[in-house]
Amino acid sequence: MEKLKGVIIGCGRISYRHVQALIDNDSETQLVGLCDVIEDRAIEKKNQYMESFPERYVPVFTDYKEMLKEVKPDFAMICTESGYHGDIAIHCLEEDVHVLIEKPMAMTLEEIDKINELSEEKNLKVGVCHQNRFNPPIQKLRKAIDEGKFGRLINGTARILWTRDQNYYDLAPWRGTRKLDGGTLMNQCIHNIDLLLWMMGSDVVSVQSERGTFLRDIEMEDFGAILLRFANGSIGIIEGSACVYPKNLEETLSIFGETGTAVIGGLAVNEIKTWNFEDKTEVVEEDDSSKVKNVYGDGHTPLLKDFIDAIKEDRLPLISGYEARKPVEVILKSYEQRKLP
C-alpha cells in the first residue's frame, strides 16, 4: 500500500517526538512538509528527519494553509501552542486532511465538538496525543481492569508533582496563559487525567476543585486539586503541581479495588510500582518499558501506528476526539467551579 503523506504544523518543544514517530513508522508513512512561524525551528526538524533519510527533500513553510495546498498531505500532526489547536484542526478537516493533535485537543468544548462533527461529516480521523496509554504497564493495567481483577473499583488517583520554575514560563510567554495554555491541570496533568478516566471506565457525575497560583507569575494555577465522583460510585482524586522543590518528584497513577491495588509510576507512568491482587498467579516481569529518557516517554511511535491503522481500517483511533474530550471537560468544569480572580 502507498505510504500516507504526513506534515507537522508547529515545530516547538514536542515536535521532535513526532519526527521520530514518523521515522519509526517509515514503512507506512512519509514526512512531506514542516511548518512553523519561526522558520529555523522547521529547518531543525527537517534536519532531524533527513539524518535518517538524507535522500529525501522535505519542504519547509511558515504558513500551514499554504503547505496544505502545496503538498496535499493525507494527515497533519498539530504541535502548536494549545490555544491554536482548534482552529488549525478545523481548517485541516475542511481541507479533507486527517488530524493527529497534541494534547489538549483544544481549549474549549465548542471547538472540540466542531472538530468531532466535521470528522464524522467528512469521514476523517481525529487522533489526540495521550501517548502514555501505549506504555506497556498502562496496557497491562487496563487489561487487569477488563479481566475484573480489581473486583469493584473504589477509587483512583492521578498525581503529577513536578516543578516548573519561572524561567520555564518566561521562555515561552504563551505558557500559563488562559487563552493559549491553561494552568498545571491543563498542561502538565492532562495526560494522567486521561489515564484515570480511561481506567475508571465510567461517566463523571460531579466535579469539585481547589486551585491556586502560589509561586509562578502566570495567569492560571500552578497547583490544582480535583475530586471526582463517577456514575459507578467510585471516586477519583487528581493532584497537580508545578511548585515541587527542587525537582520533579513523581507522576503516578493508582487504582484501588475490592480485590486489587496497582500503582504505576516512573518518569512517564511507565513503571509498575505496586501490583497486588487476590489472584496470586499474576507475575510482573521487568521489561524495557521503564527505560525512557524523559517525561514524554516512547508512546508517540505506537500512537502514530494506531492512527495510521485507523485511517487504513476506517475505525476510530484508540484516543479519538471523543475520548480526548473527556479530560478537557473535567478540567474546564473544575475551572468553572473554582474560578481564579
236-262 residue pLDDT tens = 999 999 999 999 999 999 999 999 999
Q: Is the pLDDT of residue 289 over 60?
A: no
pLDDT for position 323 = 98
Residue 5's pLDDT band, with cuts at 50, 70 and 90, is very high
- Angle in degrees, CA 89, 93, 96, rounded to 5: 145
Cell of 142: 487496563
Residue 242 has a pLDDT of 98
Q: What is the pLDDT of residues 134-187, one digit of tens each?
A: 999 999 999 999 999 999 999 999 999 999 999 999 999 999 999 999 999 999
Name the residue with higher pLDDT: 30 or 291: 30
**pTM attached to this predicted model:** 0.95
Contacts of 128 (CB under 8 A, 6+ apart): 100, 101, 102, 103, 105, 319, 320, 321, 323, 324
Q: Quote the cell numbers at residue 191.
A: 495526560
Q: List pLDDT tens digits, range 150-159.
A: 999 999 999 9
Helix (H) / strand (E) element for 330: namely helix 321-337
In angstroms, how far apart are the furthest CA atoms of the chain?
59
pLDDT band of residue 279 (cuts 50, 70, 90) is: confident
The confidence score (pLDDT) of residue 44 equals 98
Q: Measured between alpha carbons, how far is 184 from 171 in angstroms, rounded to an integer?
A: 16
Over residues 92-143, the pLDDT tens digits come to 999 999 999 999 999 999 999 999 999 999 999 999 999 999 999 999 999 9
